[in-house]
A and B are shown apart, each in its own frame.
Chain A
Amino acid sequence: MRNRLALVAATSLALALAACSSDVKDGGDDPASGAAAPEGPWSFTDGSGEVVELDDAPTRIIAHSAEAAALMSYGIKPVGIYGDESVATDPNLQGLDLTGIEILGEEWGVIDVKLASTLSPDLIVADWWPAEKAHSGMEEGVKAESKKIADLAPVVGATQGGSILNLAEGYEELARSLGADVENSQGAEDKAAFEKAREEFSEVVEGKDLTALAVSPATDLLYAANPEYAPELLDFEKWGLDVVEPDAPDAGFPYWENLSWENADKYQPDVLLLDSRTFDEALKTAKSQPTWNSIRAAKAGQVVEWPAFWLHTYGHYATALGKLTADLSDLDDTIGD
């Protein structure tokens, strides 16, 4: 028995020693962001309505991944990033130069606050979720440790909901307050590209009489999206696309109306939108259902990608919108009801 205990102790010790670690650095207050921070007191109104005031403009920023991408498009480089998924697959971070940025979390709900504290941050940037009353990464259900990141520095962010533009505009404003040269940045080019994409989108959808329904096909049910809860669908609606509003959304979960595959033909739009993150897989699932073709748009192959839920920057939005416009431009608008 004693041998076994010794073994347990020895293995746990070995495990402890095997972990790779970094040592506490003292100081490390050199500013990391590329922009020249403005002198004097700084203040910014957070999505929650709270006004954050500091003696100097912050320079050492830790940001949630999508927010970081937005700031980086204005030349502001954070010292640390935490995301909801692996950096390699996070759509927000594709093509960005992340050298010199500490990755503090690659999974929803987990932020390495110990490591974050060694970065001596003076600002945390994360979206504000009005329904949850929390910033991204600090919602109910995350590790308690993650929430302590708010003890390291004040947290600010734009508000989710309503329109994707709230986010893009919010981070543009934040970048400006942090001293970014917004007018001469990648972000400014992106914004111009976005404005152009938006005009082209309106032109195309107003030239046609397209009705669109966003759906999520699962093996057992077909879920029809309620645009009220999808900010980008509200945006498309505002810019001229006729988005179908389901007439009986689930009472408990109003994001969707649940349709049995037997009732797949309840709505007959001209075009079906499928979540771009899972487009191929979802289309395959849908096509294997015998009643998928009872939707005339599906039978005619009028199914396009729906850039759902993750857009934060003018650049990403411009690309997504451009693709959507191209997809919509050669569709037949007489298929649906």
Chain B
Amino acid sequence: MSARPTSPAPPTAVAVRQVRRRQRRRAVVVPLVLLALVVVLSVLTLCFGSVRLSVDQVLASLLGTRENGAVDFIVQEVSFPQVKAAIAVGLALGAAGTIFQQLLRNPLASPDFVGISSGASVAAVSALAIPAFSGASLPVMALIGAAVTAVLMYLLAWRDGVSGYRFILIGIGVSAFATGVIGYLLTRTSLNEARQALHWLTGSIGQAGEHETDLLLITLLAISPLVPTLQRALRNVELGDDTARVLGNRVELTRLGLLAVGVVLTAGATAVAGPIAFVALVAGPVADRLLGTARGGILAAAAMGAVLCLVSDYIAAEVLPVAMPTGVVTGAVGAPYLLWLIATTNRRGMGG
């Protein structure tokens, strides 16, 4: 995942400046367009549910300009929380995914594969399957699971600093451990609870209540002013350890900070929606395609995650003949798209 700007233009000063300007423009325009798309998709989703509403009805209800009990229940109580959760989860996973991938310099190193989601899953499935835990809140358990796993992984990977390679390997070990525990729980519990657990493990937007969603939104808001700082830190770390040290960057601290942000976002998203596959893995690379040479943008990846979640959740809930968990669709929709990207990518286009 090394970022090497590849400009075909001759290295004259004018050309370089031109490329830089174009690059900067893309880095601003792409996230804005994607965020606008998020807003449009949200309104459309609210209109075209199993109960059809007009744009006028939806906006009136959201802005509180007109009272209509039936419409208000559908929009405010049922649909809007769902849309809000989809956006929050998408933003968080998109951002966390690209941070992990760049930080660990491995396109597979999204939080789903390096152990954090699995930690959350073990905790949540325990809450469902073990009678002694029955009644525990799933989101809270998931949150605790993710946080404990992340801290454990960091401590285990620490030896005169954290090498990305070691962190990934530890992540593999943690995932394998989680797979074992979950498999055990699933074979021992009753069939109904196994089904319940499978649902949670597939990941579905709208599994948690508004309380958890709001918590995630607050976290996102709190982190948003830091995005430019994070972006710069990420670029510096990405240049490689030696360069980063020369640049006077306290590498380890920066790494820890970035890792913490990624973990918090992943944990929050998993608490809200369960371990939704694929959004974190795919949002970054897809956004990179749009960004061209300005690749690696956190905001663009986050917005792409939100788009992916909104569309997937809409398809899962409304388009399919039988309502399915969102996780079923993110994989079935996201995978072919990323496959197409891989197949058509230019040399170095995907960071290969």
Contact = CB atoms under 8 A, between A and B. Distances in A.
A–B contact (CB under 8 angstroms): yes
Interface of A: 1, 4-5, 8-9, 12-13, 15-19, 21-24, 26, 86, 105-110, 112-115, 117-118, 131-133, 139-145, 147-148, 151-152, 218, 220-221, 229, 250, 252-256, 258, 309
A330 to B, nearest CB: 30
Contacts of B307: 8, 12
Interface of B: 26, 30, 33-34, 37, 40-41, 44-45, 47-53, 70-71, 73-74, 77-79, 81-82, 127-132, 134-135, 137-138, 187-190, 192, 195-197, 199-200, 204, 206-210, 290, 292, 307, 311, 314-315, 318-319, 322-324
A198 B203 CA distance: 45
A115 B51 contact: yes
A141 B78 contact: no
Contacts, number: 143
A24 B188 contact: no
Contacts of A252: 130-132, 188
Contacts of B33: 5
Contacts of B131: 131, 252-254
A114 to B, nearest CB: 5
B207 A15 contact: no
Given A107-B323, A133-B135, A258-B188, 10 more contacts: A5-B290, A8-B37, A8-B307, A16-B47, A19-B318, A21-B51, A24-B52, A110-B323, A117-B73, A220-B187
B50 A12 contact: no
Nearest to B315: A15
Nearest to B129: A253
Contacts of A13: 44
Given A141-B138, A148-B78, A253-B188, A107 B322 contact: yes
Nearest to A28: B70
Contacts of A253: 129-131, 188-190
A142 to B, nearest CB: 8
Residue of A105, A131, A145 ringed by the most chain B CB atoms within 10 A: A145
Given A140-B128, A145-B82, A24 B50 contact: no
A144 B206 contact: yes
B78 A145 contact: yes
7 contacts: A19-B314, A24-B74, A108-B195, A114-B79, A117-B51, A118-B70, A139-B196
B255 to A, nearest CB: 32
A18 B44 CA distance: 12
B58 to A, nearest CB: 12
Nearest to A112: B50
Residue of B77, B78, B208 ringed by the most chain A CB atoms within 10 A: B78
B206 A114 contact: no
B51 A114 contact: yes
Contacts of A144: 81, 206-210
A143 B204 contact: yes
B206 A118 contact: no
Contacts of A133: 135
Contact of B51 (A15, A17, A23): A23
Contacts of B130: 252-253
Contacts of B127: 140
B48 A1 contact: no
A124 to B, nearest CB: 15
Residue of A1, A110, A114, A221 ringed by the most chain B CB atoms within 10 A: A114
A143 B206 contact: yes
B319 A143 contact: no
B78 A132 contact: no
A137 to B, nearest CB: 12
B160 to A, nearest CB: 41
Contacts of A8: 37, 307
Contacts of B199: 108-109, 141-142
Contacts of A115: 50-51
A86 B322 contact: yes
Given A108-B199, A139-B196, A144-B210, A113 B314 contact: no
Contacts of B128: 140-141
B12 to A, nearest CB: 25
B292 A1 contact: yes
B50 A114 contact: yes
A144 B199 CA distance: 13
Contact of A132 (B77, B135, B210): B135
A236 B130 CA distance: 27
The 10 A-B pairs with the shortest beta carbon distances in the complex, nearest first, are: A21-B52, A253-B188, A110-B323, A16-B44, A114-B51, A16-B48, A19-B318, A141-B196, A143-B206, A144-B209
B51 A22 contact: yes
Contacts of B37: 5, 8-9, 12
Contacts of A118: 51, 70
Given A26-B70, A143-B206, A258-B188, A132 B134 contact: yes
